[in-house]
Amino acid sequence: MQNNECQRSRSAGKVRTGVLIVMGVAAVALAAWWWKSRDAGVAGGPAGAASAAAGAGRAAGAGGAGRFGRSGTQPVSVAAVQRRDLPVAVEAIGSIASANTAVVRAKVSGELKAIYFKEGEPVKAGQLLALIDPRSYEIARDQAQAALARDKAQLENARADLARYKDLVAQEAAPRQQLDTQLALVRQLEATVLSDQATLDNAKLQLSYTRVTAPISGQAGLKQADLGNNVTPSDTNGLLSIAQTQPAAVVFAVPDARLARIRQQLGDKQPLPVQAWDRERRVKLGEGHVASTDNAIDATTGTIKVKALFDNKDGSLFPNQFVNVRLQLDTLKGVLVVPTAAVQRGAPGTYVYVVADGTVALRKVQVLATDGEATAVQGELKPGDQVVTDGADRLRDGGKAEVIQAPAAGASAAGGRERGRNRPQAASAPASGTAQ
């Protein structure tokens, strides 16, 4: 009985201990929650909110002042509208091709005895380039000359006999058959002389082939045979190649939509000026004109090949060289010209922003043609209007704008870079396309 009471007493003590432990943990958690709530209340209270709002206001004010100069004003760069002529041109990539290319081959076989050209140097048509051993061909010529002389002598003797037989037959001192036989012999010898003459002419021709001459004027390539080698007409590479680079041809492709205009001007004998520029479009290599077009449109690309000829007197155009081509199709006379950067496209259509007395106005325009950095437009503009070239993406019709001038010429490079990070630069002057 006493043992049961002791066990119940110990069990009740354990329960009270567990309850006390749970209550202690709950009290600690409640104190921690209260402390955090107090800190959050202090930071998010009215005073904190006011402080944060004041800080945000100062930051916004500083940022706005630094970026816009004054509230609501957008900095922009502008350029003046001009009225002038604008060329209508097509840009393309072309390759230089020689007007004519000739591979000079030996026409007779023999030992190469001499070379008279310099590799890479210009040569003229008919200029002696190389010499093939002519001795065997001189012997063949002499033999042909001897055979011709022999047969000519026989022919002269036969003709003399024929004259005597004619007199004898007239006097009935010789038979008619002998006269006919002599006449046939004369004709046979005449044919032999003609054959001998042809043989002699051929021998002389073969002898002339031992002197290799330039078939066209142009620039000589590298030699393909050395002195002392035996050359033949069947050699694959020949002796050398000659490329005619004056004039030089430039082949390029233009959209087939331009074909009608090109053929019209070619038919009217109106020159179509073409310019060739280097890869970086910095150096103009030459000027020429369109000579012809291909006879078919490339269905894969929708383009037509055009060939232009250049005088190339300075030799700046080299065969297989890639160049940037500018083909001038027409010239728009007295049109309104704005920088290409000023033309915007969006929901209103095609338009520009005009700045007058700090106020922005949207003017719809129609693009007539574009020539690099200059664009011809038609719309509610007049020469002298200031159109926005930089900063138009943040403008609206009727808004305010401040024109930012370009940095002074004496400004340092570092200062220019710093200003460039803080505000847009002034746009460059539009390209001046002179009518040709």
Question: What is the per-residue pLDDT across 222-265, written as a single tens digit (0 to 9) for each?
Answer: 999 999 999 999 998 999 999 998 889 999 999 888 888 888 88
Residues 63, 78, single domain; the answer is no
Side-chain-side CA neighbours of 106 within 13 Å: the count stands at 29
Residue 6 predicted with pLDDT over 60 = no
- The pLDDT of residue 52: 38
pTM: 0.56
Residue 47 predicted with pLDDT over 80 = no
Residue 422 predicted with pLDDT over 50 = no
Q: Tell me the average pLDDT across 276-282.
A: 89
Alpha-carbon gap, residue 351 to 342, rounded angstroms: 8
Residues 271, 366, single domain; the answer is no
- Is there a domain that residue 431 lies in? no
Residues 356, 278, single domain; the answer is no
Q: Tell me the average pLDDT across 11-35.
A: 64
- The pLDDT of residue 124: 93
Alpha-carbon gap, residue 320 to 336, rounded angstroms: 40
- The pLDDT of residue 64: 41
- Is there a domain that residue 390 lies in? yes
Residues 320, 341, single domain; the answer is no
Domain that holds residue 215: 103-231
Q: Tell me the average pLDDT across 264-274.
A: 86
Residues 294, 268, single domain; the answer is yes
User: Residue 278 sits in a domain of what CATH number?
Assistant: 2.40.30.170
What is the H or E stretch that residue 155 is in?
A: helix 135-170
Residue that is last in its domain, among 231, 259, 274: 231
Residues 302, 361, single domain; the answer is no
Residues 111, 226, single domain; the answer is yes
User: Residue 408 sits in a domain of what CATH number?
Assistant: 2.40.420.20
Burial-class residue 55 by CB neighbours within 10 Å (0-12, 13-18, 19+).
Answer: exposed
- The pLDDT of residue 123: 93
Residue 162 predicted with pLDDT over 50 = yes
- The pLDDT of residue 396: 79
- Is there a domain that residue 237 lies in? no
Q: Tell me the average pLDDT across 271-278.
A: 90
Domain count, the chain: 4
Higher confidence at residue 15 or residue 359? 359
Q: Tell me the average pLDDT across 369-398.
A: 83
Q: For residue range 117-135, list pLDDT tens digits in order.
A: 999 899 999 999 999 999 9
Of 212-226, 230-244, 317-331, 408-422, minimum mean pLDDT range = 408-422
Residue 359 predicted with pLDDT over 50 = yes
Of 114-118, 343-347, 410-414, minimum mean pLDDT range = 410-414
Q: What confidence category does residue 164 fall into, taking pLDDT thresholds of 50, 70 and 90?
A: confident
Residue that is last in its domain, among 166, 200, 231: 231
Q: What is the mean pLDDT of the chain?
A: 79
Joined tokens for residue 250: 């430039």
- The pLDDT of residue 17: 64
Alpha-carbon gap, residue 290 to 29, rounded angstroms: 92
Residues 123, 212, single domain; the answer is yes
Alpha-carbon gap, residue 46 to 373, rounded angstroms: 57
- Is there a domain that residue 194 lies in? yes
Indicate the residue type of 417: R
- Is there a domain that residue 322 lies in? yes
Name 76's Cβ contacts closer than 8 Å, sequence gap at least 6. 353, 355, 388, 389, 390, 391, 392, 395, 401, 402, 403, 404, 424
Residues 107, 221, single domain; the answer is yes
Residue that is last in its domain, among 277, 300, 331: 331
Residues 134, 151, single domain; the answer is yes
Residues 171, 271, single domain; the answer is no
- Is there a domain that residue 369 lies in? yes
Residue 71 predicted with pLDDT over 70 = no
- Is there a domain that residue 130 lies in? yes
- The pLDDT of residue 37: 57
Alpha-carbon gap, residue 243 to 248, rounded angstroms: 9
Residues 52, 77, single domain; the answer is no
- Is there a domain that residue 344 lies in? yes
Alpha-carbon gap, residue 76 to 390, rounded angstroms: 6
Q: Which residues pair with 64 in a beta bridge?
A: none
Alpha-carbon gap, residue 137 to 131, rounded angstroms: 13
